[in-house]
Chains A and B, each alone.
Chain A
Amino acid sequence: MEFEIDQSRFLAALSLAQTVADKRGTMPVLANVLLRANADGSVVCSATDMMTSLTETVSAEVKTPGSLTVGVKHLHGVVRTLSSGNVRVKGLDNHWVQLNAGRSEFKLMGMPESDFPELPDASGGKSKLEYVEVPAHALSDLIAKTHFSVSTDEARVNLNGVLFECDGEKGTMVSTDGHRLTKFELDLPGPKLDKGIIIPRKGMLEIRRVLDRVSGEVGLAMGDQHLFVKADDMVLSVKLNNVTFPPYKAVIPAAFQRFALLGRDDLLHSLRRAEVMAPEKTATVRLSLNPGKLELTSDNPDLGVAHQELPIDYDGEELTAGFNARYLIEVLDVIDTQEVRLEFQGELDPCVVKPVDGPDFLGVVMPMRI
């Protein structure tokens, strides 16, 4: 097998493949990229960790069709440092791969390409998959506003992904790590899903990487076990975990006793300052809601105390509750309206953060017992 390919296009494909590939090494071949050169003048780069799989087709000057597989980390490392121009890739005996660019030559040890697993069929095989076109930026926005509260605790499998619901007109994403929950809904002429699907964290981040490279629309389709995302010359498939997301609507407070309107920037900046002085591990900051003002106090016995006051329009009962500053900061970070609304029940009840005159977004943050 032999082909010649543009360095920057090759690099873009390898960059994506590199994040998908599994470097932890339970199956060594999963740390590889599969390169298949076709007679029609294209090279397909594939990578998978068995949960998330990606193929990207790049045009190239194919001299001899064929395929090979080689560790993506080092291939990417080499290609990244090459100067722009053409790169020649050639398969040698015993799975060796030779790379030539200008006057440089590299030989990398590959593996039998037959070891590389077969990837999910993006056409759906017999039961043909129907792709629905959705605006890339909308999907990207959904992920951007909810990804940060996905749980990384592997013991809570059903929280290790973002819940995606779509009725064909509106799309919703919800994530929670048990301490806070984020929900965002927007108009999305997406595929009609009978029930919500949980897109695992890694798959979600890969989708976002793909979307970053696309302007316009991407195709979405649901297979038996996979969600497929098709964009330009890329196809991403994400295997869905067969777990059930908690009935999240039940934990979004339906009522509140107090609410306050605040400038988003003021609050965000105060919280960032408070976080500096808060205990590192818990990031606890004490919020006191008083008529006319919101007080933020962080107290780190090893460091000192920070006390801040923000003028607010509030004349209800006083309330003091402790929060992990990080949780509030992360919610505010993805709100882009000037004003935000905080809704409280009691000091041990969740606080709801919403944009004022903004999209259908909300963050629910559980307080700390202080």
Chain B
Amino acid sequence: MIFHVDMDAFYASVEVREDPSLRGKPVLVGGDGRRGVVCAASYEARVFGCRSAQPMAVAVRRCPQAIVLRPRFELYEEASNRVFEVFDRYSPLVEGLSIDEAFLDMSGSEKLFGPARVAAEALRKDVFETTGGLTCSVGISRIKFISKIASAMNKPDGLTEVAAGSELEFLGPLPIGKLWGVGPKTRERLAEIGVEVVGDLRRFGKEDFVRRFGEHGAHLYALAHARDPRRVETGRERKGISHEDTYHQDVAGTTSLRAKLLSQATRVADRLVRKDLLGRTVKLKIRDTDFKTESRQCTLPEPTNRATVIYEAACQLLESVDLERRRFRLTGVGVTQLEGRGSGPPRQLDLLASLEKPKDDKGDQLQAVLTAVRGRFGHEALFPAAAGRDARAGASGATSKTRDDDG
């Protein structure tokens, strides 16, 4: 059996846990600026039609009494770590999809935890207790995508089990849009041929359907027939963490660009430290005023979470970019090939490392302290002076985008 566990209104719930006076009130987490977007809405806010990914302005219009909070990612990460620790206790095969949801392969766990439903209830209770009151919803079935659909059926704080053998029955009456990969466009085209619910699709022969919709059609056809051979994959490579800024004023020249890279490398390093990750590949992205975007990447000899190492690599990459007579509107620094510190795959240690550079565990410790200080007091608290004033949070002059594709 495969569980899909999804935390309920995760960011908002964490905020409520932190401040119990918010309980029962509509809470929106997200940027409150002109271009802010809702990251999470409490169920009380959803009643008013607020939902995540909505422009904050729209959400506030729908629910003027909502309490708007700026996201505090460190808090959510911390809570997420607790949640995943619980997952790890229930299954050796956990596939994290994002900060607040995961697949757990529970095959063969009956002896340990009892029937799937009992195990799921125990897990939900465990999550609630470990996190100090956060709830989650669980979907149970033999098939990955069905578990995912099921977990959303009884949200929040719910449990839905699709018993083995009843998958087709379960899928039949569902709106076709519930299937992975059916967006508004596909839904429209499917409606044209009379497919509104999943069961409708089964009236077509496979060839007929594939002829109409191509490879994508074959995929949908398989899903509609409850066929999804994907297994729960633990080793899924985390993609990367990056930080990029689009500047309101164009940037030119090595010195200015380097200052930007230092600021960005510092932010990326902070995120790595908080997530207890190391990155092996450093990427540089740079876009000039003609919208020509270039990217460069290099692989480090040793995975790192240190701002200085990431910065130096980014500067090296910058050297291969033609800076002559060009002004840039965007730069970004990212790391990929992430691995957990200690939890990653076994890593062969280098015998000669001690010769090449003196042992300095201090660098790691320093990075941890710097990150902790910034996490607590904000980015303006401690920052490399060379990054310039613009590096400071709140300083206008750039629109930032941070990506954590490390689900």
Contacts and interface: CB of A to CB of B under 8 A. Distances in A.
Interface stretch (B148-156, B290-298, B348-356): B348-356
Interface string A341-370: 000000010100000000000001011111
Which DSSP category, helix, strand, loop or mixed, fits chain B's interface? Answer: loop
A38 interface: no
A251 B354 contact: yes
Interface in B324-361: 342, 345-352, 354-355
A176 B356 CA distance: 14
Contact of A179 (B346, B350, B355): B350
A13 B342 CA distance: 54
Contact of A282 (B342, B346, B349, B354): B346
Contact of A369 (B349, B351, B355): B349
Interface in A310-357: 322, 324, 348, 350
A102 interface: no
Nearest to A156: B352
Contacts of B346: 279, 282, 284, 322, 368-370
B95 to A, nearest CB: 13
Contact of A367 (B342, B349, B352, B354): B349
A250 interface: yes
Contacts of A368: 346-349
B351 A251 contact: yes
Contacts, number: 45
Q: Which residue of B342, B345, B347, B351 has the most chain A CB atoms within 10 A of its CB atom?
A: B351
Interface residues of A, number: 22
Interface of A: 176, 178-181, 246-247, 250-251, 279, 282, 284, 322, 324, 348, 350, 364, 366-370
A280 to B, nearest CB: 12
A306 to B, nearest CB: 16
15 contacts: A246-B352, A247-B355, A250-B355, A251-B351, A251-B355, A279-B345, A279-B346, A282-B346, A284-B346, A366-B348, A367-B349, A368-B346, A368-B347, A369-B347, A370-B346
Interface in B277-307: none
Contacts of A181: 351
Contacts of B348: 179, 282, 324, 366, 368
Listed from nearest, the 8 A-B pairs whose CB atoms lie closest are A366-B351, A368-B346, A284-B346, A369-B347, A370-B346, A366-B349, A368-B348, A178-B352
B92 to A, nearest CB: 8
B196 to A, nearest CB: 42
Nearest to A177: B351
Q: How large is the interface on B (under 10, 10 to 19, 20 to 34, 35 or more residues)?
A: 10 to 19
A244 to B, nearest CB: 11
A246 B349 CA distance: 17
B203 to A, nearest CB: 40
Nearest to B355: A246
A370 B352 CA distance: 19
A284 B347 CA distance: 9
A179 B351 contact: yes
Contacts of B350: 178-179, 366
A322 B346 CA distance: 8
Contacts of B342: 369
Contacts of B347: 368-369
Contacts of A348: 349
Contacts of A366: 348-351
Nearest to B344: A369
Contacts of B354: 250-251
Contacts of B345: 279, 282
B233 to A, nearest CB: 11
A247 B355 CA distance: 8
Nearest to A252: B351
Given A250-B354, A366-B351, A369-B349, 4 more contacts: A176-B351, A176-B352, A179-B349, A246-B355
Nearest to B354: A251
B91 to A, nearest CB: 13
Given A322-B346, A369-B342, A370-B346, A350 B351 contact: yes
Nearest to B347: A369
Contacts of B349: 179, 348, 366-369
B351 A180 contact: yes
Contacts of A250: 354-355
